[in-house]
Amino acid sequence: MAIVGKPLLDIDIQSEISAEDEALTIDPEKQEAEQTEEQEDKEATAKREPPPPTTLSAIRHEPRVSETPSPPPPPPPTPPSSSHPPQASSPHPPTDRHQTLATPAVRHLASTLNIPLSSIRGTGKDGRILKEDVHTHSQRSRSPPSSTNPEPHTTLPLTPIQLSMYRSMTASLSIPSFLYTSTYDYTHLSTLRSRLNTHLSHLSPPGPKLTHLPFLIKAVSHALHQYPLLNARLEVPSEGSEGEKPSLTYRPQHNIGIATTTPAGLVVPVIPNVQSLSILEIHTQLLRLSSLAAAGQLSPPDLAGGTFTISNIGSIAGDVVAPVIVPGQLVILGVGRRKRVPVFAEGGEVVGRELGTVSWAADHRVVDGATLARFSEVVRGMVEGEGVLLSGLR
């Protein structure tokens, strides 16, 4: 479709130039000097031509002159071709408005991009501006300028909590551990929790709203009664001590630490004597420790004496995690996110179930995979069995 004021077709021919563009390449001062020089050459030529032949009468009346030929007149001085001194030629001629060699297509492209041709350095023959030159200039003008004064780096010392994390996790690297994962069905536990929350809401005053974590903590404590090894401590002789051998210290108290993130870093407050607490008491302790951790008011006793650790990473995100064993312990549990998914029931029908992945890490120096798998199955039975968890609440 033809548009008024727009060309029908742009033809980019690098070897030709229009008369209009060629006229722009002529220097007016140089043209005027050449015309002056040409006029003076014509006048000098006219002076050197012999005079026309005279008549006989004129010869008779002329006075006698010497026959010695007169010297020719000196040639006129050559005017300078330009008022400016000669300059050395450069591979790229100046790109003023009289010397911007470009085809109409290139000029149209530069006009579309709102780029004056005088600001573009041509790389073509005789400094001709090519389309590539226009695109290169456009990209350079759009690129942000590089920062000449970058912001300096800031070095800060570790906070006390970060320093404690550094020491603890560095010591954990010396523990040869293995990972074991399993999937738990929280459907029945979620139903039980909802019923208990409904009952607590009708009390006067209303009781706290329970989460899944207190039930899982109590299930781990119940399973530790059957597998006390996983609550023990491995005593490793110090270097240089001769005759001493590694030993295990069994601890009857189930002091379960809960990995908690705070603005200052990761902390692991401990709920002591979980084996003697009810689910409501465990939930109350969780609320207390969480509030103190958020305010940065945890005391040293709140962080000491842990025998087993649980990391509830699923409350943030993630399904499978590789938890790091806390020094002085043998096992750690990472709880993944719960989600409702369709599964096949025993009769073949598809039903919705609330599933979640748990990840265990254990010290492989004294704990084997079979023991950890059996321990996990005991915990799973407590979580999935209707009424089984309630029978072991105390």
Name residue 90's amino acid: S
217 pLDDT above the threshold of 90: yes
The whole-number average pLDDT for the span 371-382 is 95
The catalytic position among 10, 41, 126, 368 is: 368
Amino acid at 283: H
Stated length of the chain: 394
Q: Based on the residue annotation, tell me whether 368 is a catalytic residue of this protein.
A: yes
CB 360 within 8 A of CB 331: yes
The mean per-residue pLDDT over the stretch 257-262 comes to: 90
- Rounded to whole angstroms, how far apart are CA atoms 36 and 30? 10
pLDDT of residue 47: 59
Cα four-point dihedral sign 134, 139, 141, 147: negative
Question: What percent of the chain stands above pLDDT 90?
Answer: 36
Q: Which residue has the higher pLDDT, 101 or 42?
A: 101
What is residue 385's predicted lDDT score, i.e. its pLDDT?
82
Residues 345-352, mean pLDDT to the nearest whole number: 88
The DSSP H or E segment spanning 185 is strand 177-185
> pLDDT tens, 103-143?
888 888 888 888 888 888 888 888 888 888 888 888 887 76
Tokens of 173: 């690297």
- CA dist 263 and 171 (Å) reads 23
Q: What is the full DSSP assignment across 238-285?
A: PTT--S---EEE---S--EEE-EEETTEEE--EE--GGG--HHHHHHH
pLDDT band of 55, cuts 50, 70, 90:
very low
**pLDDT tens column, 277-329:** 999 999 999 999 999 998 888 899 999 999 999 999 888 888 888 899 999 99
User: By percentage, how much of the chain surpasses pLDDT 70?
Assistant: 71
- pTM of structure: 0.60
Where is average pLDDT lowest: 43-57, 293-307, 331-345? Answer: 43-57
The answer on pLDDT for 188 being more than 80 is yes
Out of 21, 108, 185, 364, pick the active-site residue.
Answer: 364
What is the mean pLDDT of the segment spanning 192-206? 86
Measured CA to CA, the distance from residue 273 to residue 255 in angstroms comes to 5
For residue 50, say if its preceding peptide bond is cis, omega within 30 degrees of 0: no
Q: Please list the alpha-helical segments (H only) found in the chain.
A: 19-24, 28-48, 56-61, 104-112, 131-142, 160-172, 187-201, 212-226, 279-295, 369-384, 388-391
Taking 90 as the threshold, does the pLDDT of residue 243 lie above it?
Answer: no
Structure confidence at residue 316 (pLDDT): 83
Quickly tell me which residue has 């350095």 as its tokens. Answer: 121
Q: What is the mean pLDDT of residues 241-255?
A: 90
First-to-last CA distance in the chain? 87
Q: What is the pLDDT of residue 270?
A: 96
Q: What is the pLDDT of residue 333?
A: 96
Residue pair 212/188 in contact by the 8 Å Cβ criterion: no
Among candidate residues 114, 123, 107, 100, the one with its CA nearest the CA of residue 25:
100
Backbone angles phi, psi at 216, to 5 degrees: -70, -40
Residue 199 pLDDT grade (very low, low, confident, very high; cuts 50, 70, 90): confident
